[in-house]
Amino acid sequence: MMHQLIIGMPNSGKSTFIAALRHLLLANEVTTELKLTGLAENEAHLNLLERDWLACQMVERTKPATEGWVQFHVRDQESGIESTLSIPDLRGEAFEQPACIGKCQKELHDSLIETDGILLFTNADREDDALLISDFSDILGEDETADQQPLHGFKPENMPEEVKIVEFLQFANRRPRYPRKRKVAVLISAWDIVENQHVLLPDKWLETHRPMLAQFLETNYDLWETRVYGISAQGGKLPEMQVTLEKIKKPSERIRVVGNCAKIHDLSAPLRWLMLEHR
């Protein structure tokens, strides 16, 4: 069974992606690299996600009561190879733990160790991780002195997103385990916002707006084989564009994917690349 791991901090677009992917593979409204061959055992949670997505409403972020592992049984249209994609639909807070408290949920940690393919989310509709010297007064407290405790009031969860992502990825190859090369597809969600800024290349956007993450992946090329995609799983920002999106007759055509020769509406393209053997 093929295991694919979705990584993303809170509000990075993971649940919206899962909802859109389910509809895309089930509805057969557009051409896709992968074809759905079977439904998951527990469809209730996915039905709720897809319902909100189809209604052009904000997909509710994952709650503790709905956390679980989502399965997609698929076939590669070109090769005919069948696989079961096992993907965790977990709250973003679960992925912050390695950086914030130095620990990770056991099931998530074991999946990270075993997986060969990672979908890594970062949301374009979020400010860059920029920290100025003047910002340290907010972290340290304006009235701090040398005799007082350092970093008074600092909360680990407020660390930059890139720091938390890099620390999570490093868990996969930390000693005493033997490091091995893996694939990581970086998905820049809310890509419709980036397109409106006339930035067309996902790789360049990542270098500019997530430089620490981009440099980490580039420097560790012996451990990470990387591709970068821009995706808009919803099709536009809500609620501002709800009326416009509702007018699109085929919901699958709201989806937009940019990068690495992916078809414009095909969210399965990054997943298929993760399924292929290293080249």
- Strand pairing category for 117-123 and 182-189: parallel
pLDDT for 234: 93
More confident position, 121 or 94 = 121
More confident position, 54 or 139 = 54
pLDDT digits (tens, 9 = 90+) for 71-93: 788 888 888 888 777 776 666 67
pTM: 0.85
Q: Chain-wide mean pLDDT for the chain?
A: 81
Handedness of CA 46, 107, 62, 98 (dihedral sign): negative
The predicted model gives 238-250 an average pLDDT of 93
More confident position, 83 or 244 = 244
pLDDT for 109: 79
The predicted model gives 232-250 an average pLDDT of 92
Q: Give the range among 136-145, 189-198, 261-270 with minimum mean pLDDT.
A: 136-145
Q: Give the range among 40-44, 69-73, 169-173, 178-182 with minimum mean pLDDT.
A: 40-44
User: What is the Cβ-side half-sphere exposure of residue 78, based on CA atoms within 13 angstroms?
Assistant: 7
pLDDT surpasses 90 at 245: yes
Whole-number Å distance between alpha carbons of 155 and 193 = 30
Residue 254 makes CB contacts below 8 A (sequence gap 6+) with 232, 234, 235, 236, 245, 248
pLDDT digits (tens, 9 = 90+) for 158-168: 788 888 888 88
Question: Look-up: residue for tokens 């010297």?
Answer: 133
pLDDT surpasses 60 at 279: no
Whether the CB-CB separation of 205 and 199 falls below 8 Å is answered with yes
The predicted model gives 125-139 an average pLDDT of 59
Question: Look-up: residue for tokens 């994609």?
Answer: 85
Whole-number Å distance between alpha carbons of 65 and 27 = 27
pLDDT digits (tens, 9 = 90+) for 178-218: 688 899 999 999 999 887 776 668 999 999 999 999 999 99
Tell me the residue type at 1.
M
Q: How many other CB atoms are there within 10 angstroms of residue 84's CB atom? A: 15
Take residue 260 and report the two structure tokens written for it.
């690495």
pLDDT for 228: 97
More confident position, 98 or 185 = 185
Question: Look-up: residue for tokens 């090329």?
Answer: 221
Q: How many other CB atoms are there within 10 angstroms of residue 127's CB atom? A: 7
Domains and CATH numbers, the chain: 4-128+165-275 (3.40.50)
Tell me the residue type at 2.
M
Which residues is 236 bridged to in the sheet? Answer: none
pLDDT for 20: 94
More confident position, 52 or 146 = 52
pLDDT for 48: 84
Give 60-63's long-range contacts (Cβ < 8 A, gap of 24+): 60/15, 61/10, 61/11, 61/15, 61/91, 61/92, 62/14, 62/15, 62/89, 62/90, 62/91, 62/92, 63/91
pLDDT for 136: 45
